[in-house]
A and B are shown apart, each in its own frame.
Chain A
Amino acid sequence: MSWISTIIFLPVVFLVIILLLPSRFREWYRYITLGTAILQAGIACIIYLRFDQAGSDGFQFLEKVPWIHLSLGNLGRLEIDYFLGVDGLSAPLLILSAVVMVAAAISSWEIKENMKGYFALFLLMDAAIMGVFCALDFFLFYVFYELMLLPLYFLIGMWGGPRREYAALKFFLYTLFGSVFMLLVIVGLYFSVTDPVSGAYTFNMLHMMDAANFVPGAVFSPEVVQTILGVPARLLGFAVIFIAFAIKVPVVPLHTWLPDAHVEAPTPISIILAGLLLKIGGYGILRICFGIFPDSALYFSWFIGMLGVISILYGALNALAMKDLKKLIAYSSVSHMGFVLLGFASFTTEGTSGALLQMVSHGILSTMLFFLVGVLYNRVHDRFIPNFRGLASHMPHYTAFVMVAFFASLGLPGFSAFIAEAFTLIGTFNSQSVNGLLPRWMAIAGSLGILLSAAYFLWTLQRMFFGTTRFRGGEAWSKQLIDLRPHEWAVLLPMALLTLMLGIFPSLFFDLSNSALANMVQELFETGKRHLDSLQYTNNLRF
């Protein structure tokens, strides 16, 4: 029994069942979906328990089956494998995906129309997201990556808010813009890398990460500088893939799809967007951009760190100005994902571990935050901050969870985000003395972002939840705004406990990822440095 294939294809099996069930069983669809998500979470637990944490620099749970093999005449053979596996980087994200899926499945209770289509697309997206985190063949990765887009497009476009068509198409085109160019780099890499055993060209990401497998003189070979259209090929390849994933993260200035998509998407889709999709961007940057082009990553590290700082500050300042609660949280996501970029750019184990924990922690917290907005919106169909006042006395349980989520997000010690942001900043701060990549002021600017996040979260808390109770909708709203229902507890309580647990016992997470990340950062830095020294790009991008 191969656990990873099961966790990916379980949703597909249930998707077929949903498609075959006639519409009169429509109430069952959501139970089937929830059941699938819970089963996946169970498998994720098994993967967590069976994961060999001690020697985990290599990949585990490997599966490899030939998929597309064709002969290309004088070009040799094209080999694409169905190749899966997880390591200390992808395992936490895979487990996070399973957890967030359960929350999203519960929150899908609010979907009332065309349920067959909704749940079928939901499960398809579920499968694709799991696949993205496990794929180790670049072509397979790309297929999962694109496959995830289409269901999301429909989920936003058909079940979203008033401007859903615009938001869905914008989201789709932005992501696709990045990914089609990524496809070209994939093909270029394919022509540059051979399998050390069979000698055939390969899409295998593990082979791509090993500089020894590059064909001498190939376009992306790290030995000599090749140029494409006058730009060094490896730098260009890195930049193209980086932009593709930076759109997903999203990094300012490529973030403009995010507020639109979040505002228009239904709650469960917002949860998945913020909780998982953004993580795919971060995962892709570390695994693919940094993994395959470590020299370019070093070369651009100042620039990447700068983008991280800009995202942190710009996102936070925007969040401060928002009147729509959902938009506020969307911009806070931009700000929090900036830390991930900063941590990666530092090329230190602390920074990278912090960044990965930040992804997991933000996955949990943004699920909570968007769910909480959904609770409010479902009751009164309004989420403008000035329209609410004094919710604390009216909905005490709800307010309690809002406070947990807000305080956790702004980095209160004891919650996961604190550990994550602290480690990221430590890594950034050390970077100047350890490897000289990022200047210290970036760490200081990053901590300014934490301060700003405290400002917007606390200000929101004060505006909406404290003071005398007064709603724009008057008496009618007071009746509709009832406190949490049982299924809402079922989402919020486990999430709150999770963030608390990761905050108090971060070793639950670090044990899983640490040895893999420590090796990886070390190795990336060394190979990157070696290639960078031998390549000798003329102008250095350190301002």
Chain B
Amino acid sequence: MTSLIIVSVLAVAVLYLGLFKYKTALLPVSVTGLLAAAAMAAMDWDLEKMYFSEMMLFDNYAVAFSILLILTTLLIFGLSRNYFEKISNNVAEYYALMLFALAGGVVMVSFHNLAMLFIGIEILSISLYVLAGIRRKDPASNEASLKYFLMGAFATGFLLFGTALIYGATGSFNLAAIASSGAFESALFRAGVLLMMVGLSFKVSVAPFHTWTPDVYEGSPGLIAMFMATVVKTAGFAAFLRLFLMAFAEASAFWAITVAILCILTLFAGNITAVFQDRFKRLLAWSSVSHAGYLLLAILAVGFSASSAVLVYTIAYSLASVAAFGIMILVSRARGNDHLDSFNGLARTNPFLAFTLTLAVCSLAGIPLTAGFFGKFYVFKVALAQGYTWLVVLAVINAMIGIYYYFKVIIAMYMKENANAVAIQLNPGFRLVLSIVVFLIFLFGIFPGLIANIL
């Protein structure tokens, strides 16, 4: 709880710093504040405290995902020095909005009441609508913002409607009360579950509610897209799982088939479309859709160490995405665009960047000894334990397709030449963040027990 307060206060403080033009203090203050928030969250470990008459529950699940969200944001801030300055003069707003979004994310992973879930999602989403459209003069950015807002508004509508129906069926917003209400057979309840599923699917870009993803990612500034792909997706899935684990687990026989179909749709839509992308940012956007599919597999296995599987998968996915988006930003800034051809010859000019990106896409593709491999392995394992063999077979076919398109960028970097490529300059923040990411991907790849034993 203290961590949530710190993040919210920090956001306000950052706004004031911007007001008084202390631009140089923005980054240090944000980073210190986030470190403090992470430390505070860690102190809540094993306490299982309820807050505000059972509105929020800081259990280990909430603590683990809060820390993951905060640390991911920290990594993104590490890349942001001199980044927002290039876009506009009002830098403080970026930091403040991202921190507000993070606060929303923390609420989303710790809610114990449907009202808090809604509030968390709204805090997160509204900050993101602004962030997506923050390059006001850029039509693509405007398009992204408008699209995201319209789609998001619809999704919110579905979510609210679902919440209302569930309240009608069970008489409560409280997760524990819903779980023990025994109203699982009523049509009202079932409609509510499905509508909430639709609303959440929008947020985590699960097909067929994913259509906004590529355009919004493409139109938003690179770091914001990175934030959406990592923090927002992690928070969304943590909320998704928390809701279905704590409130709807008993009714899983009813919604499992829907989730399974969504999972297949998402996997195929994401992966097959990604094959045909020739811009790296769009490719990453579609691949992020496909990763939502793998995560749905874990949600299907509710109760069978699903939370641990989702945690491992999101850690691996966030680390790899930070590296992939970060290098995409560097390359598109230095070479004008993020076309796959822009990556040609990167291995010769910047061996470190090429190596990091290779490791990142290997982790996304699930090659052993990277964190992503164990993430996939774990998710497949819990799904197989639940007897979803056919689903896992389809997921494996999709993992194969994934490798094909992820390797396109490796081919470009290592096997294609670009005669007039010059080395890309790295600032110390980038070097530090990318080194940390490389280290962690290897560490969690070789010793996955470090993260798999948390929950």
B25 within 8 A of A: no
By size class, the interface of chain B is 35 or more
| Complex interface: chain A residues within 8 A of B448 (CB) | 68, 70
Q: Is the CB of A184 within 8 A of B380?
A: yes
The tally of residues in A whose CB lies under 8 Å from a CB in B reads 36
Which single member of B304, B367, B380, B404 contacts A187 (CB below 8 Å)?
Answer: B380
| Complex interface: chain A residues within 8 A of B106 (CB) | none
Bound Cα distance A75, B389 (Å): 17
Q: Is the CB of A191 within 8 A of B453?
A: no
A158 within 8 A of B: yes
Bound Cα distance A73, B302 (Å): 12
A173 within 8 A of B: yes
Q: Is the CB of A176 within 8 A of B403?
A: yes
| Complex interface: chain B residues within 8 A of A70 (CB) | 448-449, 452-453
| Given known A70-B449, A180-B399, contact A75–B305 (CB-CB < 8 A) | yes
Specify the chain A residue showing the minimal Cβ separation from B384.
A187
Main secondary structure of the interface of B (DSSP, over half): helix
Which single member of A164, A165, A177 contacts B400 (CB below 8 Å)?
Answer: A177
One of B132-140, B212-220, B390-398 at the interface: B390-398
Bound Cα distance A74, B305 (Å): 8
A69 within 8 A of B: yes
Specify the chain B residue showing the minimal Cβ separation from A228.
B389
Q: Is the CB of B447 within 8 A of A150?
A: no
Bound Cα distance A72, B385 (Å): 11
One of A140-148, A378-386, A388-396, A439-447 at the interface: A140-148
| Complex interface: chain B residues within 8 A of A172 (CB) | 403, 407
Q: Is the CB of A169 within 8 A of B393?
A: no
Bound Cα distance A395, B385 (Å): 64
Which single member of B369, B384, B415, B447 contacts A165 (CB below 8 Å)?
Answer: B415
| Complex interface: chain A residues within 8 A of B385 (CB) | 75, 191
Q: How far is the CB of B350 from chain A (nearest CB, A)?
A: 14
Bound Cα distance A535, B347 (Å): 55
Q: How far is the CB of A396 from chain B (nearest CB, A)?
A: 40
B381 within 8 A of A: yes
Which single member of B396, B400, B416 contacts A173 (CB below 8 Å)?
Answer: B400
A414 within 8 A of B: no
Bound Cα distance A121, B421 (Å): 25
Specify the chain A residue showing the minimal Cβ separation from B392.
A184
Scan residues 155-185 of chain A and give those whose CB is less than 8 A from a CB of chain B: 157-158, 164-165, 168-169, 172-173, 176-177, 180-181, 183-184
Q: What mask results when residues 123 to 165 of chain A are scored 1 for a CB within 8 Å of chain B, else 0? A: 0000000000000000000110011001000100110000011
B322 within 8 A of A: no
B161 within 8 A of A: no
B377 within 8 A of A: yes
Scan residues 354-408 of chain B and give those whose CB is less than 8 A from a CB of chain A: 362, 367-369, 373, 377, 380-382, 384-385, 389-390, 392-393, 396, 399-400, 403-404, 407
Q: How far is the CB of B60 from chain A (nearest CB, A)?
A: 13
B411 within 8 A of A: yes
B414 within 8 A of A: yes
| Given known A73-B305, A150-B362, A165-B411, contact A184–B400 (CB-CB < 8 A) | no
A197 within 8 A of B: no
Q: Is the CB of B415 within 8 A of A146?
A: no
Which single member of B362, B380, B411, B447 contacts A183 (CB below 8 Å)?
Answer: B380
Bound Cα distance A165, B414 (Å): 10
Bound Cα distance A181, B385 (Å): 16
Scan residues 212-261 of chain A and give those whose CB is less than 8 A from a CB of chain B: 228-229
Bound Cα distance A75, B303 (Å): 10
Bound Cα distance A158, B416 (Å): 9
| Complex interface: chain A residues within 8 A of B400 (CB) | 173, 176-177, 180
Bound Cα distance A146, B443 (Å): 18
Bound Cα distance A183, B347 (Å): 31
A71 within 8 A of B: yes
Q: What mask results when residues 58 to 97 of chain A are scored 1 for a CB within 8 Å of chain B, else 0? A: 0000000000111111110010000000000000000000
A35 within 8 A of B: no
Specify the chain B residue showing the minimal Cβ separation from A139.
B377
Q: Is the CB of A184 within 8 A of B367?
A: no
Q: Is the CB of A74 within 8 A of B304?
A: yes
Q: Is the CB of B449 within 8 A of A68?
A: yes
Q: Is the CB of B381 within 8 A of A181?
A: no
Q: How far is the CB of A79 from chain B (nearest CB, A)?
A: 10
A506 within 8 A of B: no
| Given known A74-B304, A75-B385, A177-B400, contact A158–B415 (CB-CB < 8 A) | yes
Q: Is the CB of B396 within 8 A of A180?
A: yes
Question: Which of B305, B381, B393 lies at the interface centre, i.e. has the most chain A CB atoms within 10 A of its CB?
Answer: B381
A188 within 8 A of B: yes
Q: How far is the CB of A470 from chain B (nearest CB, A)?
A: 37
Q: How far is the CB of B393 from chain A (nearest CB, A)?
A: 7
Bound Cα distance A71, B308 (Å): 10
**A–B Cβ pairs within 8 angstroms, 20 of them:** A68-B452, A70-B449, A70-B452, A72-B304, A74-B304, A75-B382, A117-B347, A147-B369, A157-B414, A157-B415, A158-B415, A165-B416, A168-B415, A173-B404, A180-B396, A181-B393, A183-B380, A183-B396, A188-B384, A191-B384
Query: Nearest 9 pairs between A and B by C-beta?
Result: A146-B368, A143-B368, A70-B452, A72-B305, A73-B305, A68-B449, A70-B453, A180-B396, A165-B415
Known: A158-B414, A173-B400. 13 other contacts (CB 8 A): A68-B452, A71-B453, A75-B385, A150-B367, A157-B414, A169-B404, A172-B403, A173-B403, A176-B400, A187-B377, A187-B381, A188-B384, A191-B384
